[in-house]
Amino acid sequence: MKTELFVVNLRYPKYKLLKQNKMGKFEIKKRKSGEYQFDLKASNGQVILTSEGYTTKENCKNGIESVKKNSQVDARFDKLEAKNGKPYFNLKATNGQIIGTSEMYESVASRDNGIASVKKNAPEAEVVDLTVEK
């Protein structure tokens, strides 16, 4: 289910409502080490999955495609608990490699909501490359 946002156009009153679909997005960034990484953000801007570091931008983009595909398979999500007791999850590819890790959550229910958000947002999320100079 996609969230819909209606925006009032004050400049052209006869076009009162503009429909905008709010969905998640992948943001590609470059670390200080020179490696590339991506964050999957929900429609509210919150980071819901962060990748490992990639040596090339192309590999990073391949990681995004892997998230889009593997996020729809429940068995690809490893539900884990950190040493401090906080729940989190990893998303794995078919070969078992970790392609994304969540934040630490305060509860199991919050972690499960995070997984649901990845499943909802990843398949149709746009890719925004923040490493491109404007």
Q: How far apart are CA 130 and CA 134, in angstroms?
A: 9
User: Six-digit token pair at 110?
Assistant: 């919050």
Instruction: State the amino acid at position 104 in one-letter form.
Output: M
With 0.75 as the threshold, say if the pTM is over it.
yes
22 — pLDDT class (breaks 50, 70, 90): low
Q: Per-residue pLDDT tens for 42-91?
A: 999 999 999 999 999 999 999 999 999 999 999 999 999 999 999 999 99
pLDDT-above-70 percentage for the chain: 82
CATH class entry, domain 23-129: mainly beta
**Residue where the block lists tokens 């391949």:** 62
Tokens of 118: 């990845």
